[in-house]
Structure 1
Amino acid sequence: MDTSTQASRETDQQTRDWLRTLVAFDTTSRNSNLALIETVRDALKRQGIDALLVHNAARNKANLFATLPAQDGGTQGGIVLSGHTDVVPVDGQDWSSDPFAVDEREGRLYGRGTCDMKGYIAATLALVPEFLAMPRKKPLHLAFSYDEEVGCAGAPYLLADLRERGIQPEGCVVGEPTGMQVVVAHKGINVFRCRVHGRAAHSSLTPRGCNAIEHAARLICHIRDLADAYRTNGPYDTFYDVPFTTLTTNQIQGGIAVNTIPDACEFTYEFRNLPGMSPRDIQADIRRYVDEQLLPRMRAEFPDARVEIETGPAAPGLEASEQAAITALVRALTRDTATRKVAYATEAGLFQGLGIPTVVCGPGHIEQAHKADEYVALDQLASCVGFLRRVGQSL
């Protein structure tokens, strides 16, 4: 066996070992990710790399940013390898094995986050010794975030810190599961929480109340009407699997008893907009309906009725430039020239918003994420390791 083949096998084993380590941390978004982040920080420290941690306000979560300098010690420019450390819950899911212990069977590694997206992070960390040994003319940066799964809430703090410190990489690869194919665009996501306040009354005295649930239903139906209009009239982008902007109401609660007019109803809604559409304009339409139609009807029943809309997590869409060097590089290294756009959101649009050209490419398939028996195939991990190795060599 030649030296390069032996090295590749060792890296593949280190990738599995790292994945087992990462999956063992229950980093469901409601939990802290500090144990995982500090483990990664300490491993990098042992290899001579100082990692920066950017904490949330409660200091129970952190982003990690680390730079592997160029051969001459340079830290400016280069490429970011980016991934999120949080995962979605396993509550109510019927798993065949412990979701927080990697189970290998039939060429697949099962466990929460193996696909989305600890497999990519594991491959990146396994390659750090190789990256450090490469005679690179430019640096490599590692960016691992928290709370991506709840609206990309953590990465903005990391990017704000990079801006303040004047760090400006030349490109970024976000390793969300794409089957190691190049994704050049995705939709934005915008989440809102709406609280409708009416007046309670005994249900036998209906005219004396202002039914918050019924008025909330009017707004929900308006949101659905907007969604139907986008579906029917566009605008469209046929490269997407869902080629139009979507709006949905996904949670609702209200009422205290079957014989009581409810004075409050709360629901959440989201829209996923094509990158060329303004989220502000979409939300302005909803707000206009509230102010011009819904509130006048409510206040005819109860003068103090009100509707509160709170802006929640949001992430911008991505529209990568085909002329950007990172797009050309990733296409060349994967030999993938297809135009591919997806409806799900990632942190890529946030990096692009900082002026860092970004594409999405990582192991596994989105269809395997977020469900019971989530897995990543071993051949996908091997392809990812080979791809990331070539990224390092290209520098």
Structure 2
Amino acid sequence: MSTEINIEKLYENCIKILTDLIGFKTISGDDNSNLINYCEEYLHKLGATSFKTFDQEKKRVNLFATFKAKKTNGIKPIILSGHTDTVPVSKSWSTDPFKATIKDDKLYGRGACDMKGFIACVLAYAPIYSKVELNRDIHFSFTFDEETACLGAPILIEELKKRKIQDGICIIGEPTKMKIIDAHKGCYEYTTYFEGLAGHSSMPHKGVSAVEFASRYANKLIELRQDLKKRAPKDSIFDPPFSTLQVGGIFGGIAHNVIADKCYIEWETRPVVREDGVFLNQEIDKYANEILLPEMRKVFPNSKITKKIIGEVTGFDRVKNSEACELVSSLTGDNSREVVSFGTEAGLFQEIGMSTVVCGPGSIEQAHKVDEYIELNEIKKCLKFLDGLKKRSALN
């Protein structure tokens, strides 16, 4: 049977699996256990071993499954990694976002592109890996809540460290049109809470307006944004070349004539280098603790400013000689290297010693949008890539 015929049969199975995956409503923060159980049962039937890790509520789950090599001879294992969560949906979809719809050589559905398309591809190819005498372990890593500051992957990675699964090649299947991405900025997300003293607006000196102090905090962040621009590395590979910062929202107050006792700010920064994140946090914390809080407590001693870390996702650094990039290049025939502005779990795997690359089917241009889709040809390209990976992972 020719490789081309195999790819066509795999493609049909992949579409079926992707249809199933889209049917699971795995919006970030929600229970994803049904999808994870589907994947685990599928891989178990093929002979894979696996383990799970959980959030504190035991409702969001990571899965790590493995086909063991017959003989490795020191050849590094492969991790095929994808996140199972999606962003929310709006009411303006032209199709049911949780029902796969094929139209004009595109498959529509929430998560079709980002990134259930990749997960479907690796699951569709799993039966082939299960029948091959492997020269390296093939791992499948499926995580929760990547879209909300990569909350799931750190829990999984801690378990990998305990099991000493750190020396390998990790392929993160985010949508890149099967192009190699070898770097991106970090992504740090925070919410800062202000607690003051409510009162009548006619007596502002007797209250502590959480909204006003939150506004001053936001203005300080905007000032610090200019400092980040000045810190841009001379050889920066990113666009823009400096670390960015933005205030996502300020929420507080209940009426025109009530001094707001509560307010919070959502903000984020995308550091080019870790030191920029350290600098920013030190400066804003100093301003809050040494300037704002003393003023608040002059009027109301129980005033508070509390900064909550939503997530601090480490950046993905370009490596001169990357085993992961070289492997992908040899399979796709494309030697180019690109950087992106969006974040992934790549830096987390890189941080524990994995040679890591971001490469997967679909385009980020279709991610997070109304009527999200993946081009069917992208699925075929990914399956051919996985076929090439099989040939590199089989005993001669």
Please state which band the TM-score falls in when normalised by the shorter chain: over 0.9
The aligned residue for residue 255 of structure 1 is 253
Q: What SS does the aligned partner of 2:202 have? A: helix
Closer/same/farther in 2, CA of residues 329 and 76 from structure 1, 3 Å limit: closer
2:263 alignment counterpart = 265
* Equivalent AA in structure 2 for residue 86 of structure 1: D
Helix, strand or coil: the match of 2:114? helix
1:218-229 matches, cutoff 5 A: 218-229=216-227
Displacement after TM superposition at 1:282 (Å): 1.7
Query: Match for residue 81 of structure 2?
Result: 82
Are the structure 2 counterparts of residues 162 and 126 from structure 1 closer, same or farther at C-alpha, using a change threshold of 3 Å?
same
Provide the aligned C-alpha RMSD in A.
Answer: 1.9
1:302 and 1:345, CA in 2 relative to 1: closer, same or farther beyond 3 A? same
Q: Secondary structure at the match of 1:148?
A: coil
Q: Matches of 2:233 and 2:286 in 1, distance apart?
A: 21
- The corresponding residue for 1:48 is 47
Structure 2 contact 189–311 (Cα < 8 Å) conserved: yes
Contact 1:231–1:245, Cα closer than 8 Å, also in 2: yes
- Take 1:42 and 1:102, find their aligned partners in 2: how far apart are those partners? 22
The alignment partner of 1:277 has SS state of helix
Call closer, same or farther: CA 1:75–1:283 in 2, change over 3 Å. same
Report if the CA contact (8 A) 1:201-1:209 is conserved: yes
Note if contact 2:121-2:383 (Cα within 8 Å) is conserved in structure 1: yes
Match of 2:26 in 1: 27
- Report the count of equivalent residues: 393
AA partner of residue 282 (structure 1): L
Q: Distance in 2 between matches of 1:149 and 1:186?
A: 15
Write the deviation string for residues 128-158 of structure 1: whole angstroms up to 9, x where unpaired: 1111233331111100001111111011111
Contact 1:237/1:244 (<8 A) preserved: no
Alpha-carbon offset, residue 302 of structure 1:
3.5
SS of the residue 1:359 aligns to: strand
Q: Secondary structure at the match of 2:141?
A: strand
Does the residue aligned with 1:392 lie in a helix, a strand or coil?
helix
Equivalent pair of 1:74/1:139 in contact (CA under 8 Å)? no
Structure 1 runs (4+) greater than 6 angstroms displaced = 73-76
* Cα pair 1:77 1:168 within 8 Å, conserved: no
- Alignment match of 2:281 (pick from 257, 280, 283): 283
Q: Distance in 2 between matches of 1:201 and 1:105?
A: 58
For 2:58 and 2:229, the matched residues in 1 are separated by: 42
TM-score (norm 2): 0.94
Instruction: Tell me whether 1:96 sits opposite 2:116 in the alignment.
Output: no
Amino acid of the residue matched to residue 287 of structure 1?
D
Tell me by how many angstroms 1:228 deviates.
3.1
Distance in structure 2 (CA, Å) of the matches to 1:76 and 1:36: 31
Shift of residue 215 of structure 1? 1.0
In structure 1, distance between residues paired with 2:381 and 2:205: 66
Distance 1:102 1:144, change over 3 A: same
Name the TM-score, length of structure 1 as normaliser.
0.94
Q: Which has the larger displacement, 73-82 or 330-339?
A: 73-82
The answer for the alignment partner of 1:195 in structure 2 is 193
**Structure-1 residue corresponding to 2:215:** 217
| Whole-angstrom CA distance in 2 between matches of 1:367 and 1:272 | 20
Using the TM superposition, give the Cα deviation of residue 73 of structure 1 relative to its aligned residue in structure 2, in angstroms.
8.0
The offset of 1:236, in angstroms, is: 6.0
**Which deviates the most, 296-305 or 133-142?**
296-305
**What residue is the counterpart of 2:358 in the other structure?**
360
Change in CA separation of 1:236 and 1:343 when aligned onto 2, cut-off 3 Å: farther
Amino acid at match of 1:332: S
Residue in structure 2 matched with residue 10 of structure 1 by the alignment:
9
The match for 1:117 is: 115
Q: Residues 311-330 of structure 1: matches in 2 within 5 Å? A: 311-330=309-328
Cα 1:260–1:236, aligned 2, differ >3 Å: closer, same or farther? farther
Question: Quick one: percent identity of the two aligned structures?
Answer: 37
Letter in 2 for 1:165: R
SS at match of 1:116: coil
Secondary structure in 2 aligned to 1:89? coil
Counterpart mapping for 1:311-390 below 5 A: 311-390=309-388
Distance 2:67 2:251 in 1: 49
Segments of structure 2 that go 5 or more residues without pairing to the other structure are none
For the residue of structure 2 that corresponds to 1:379, the secondary structure is helix
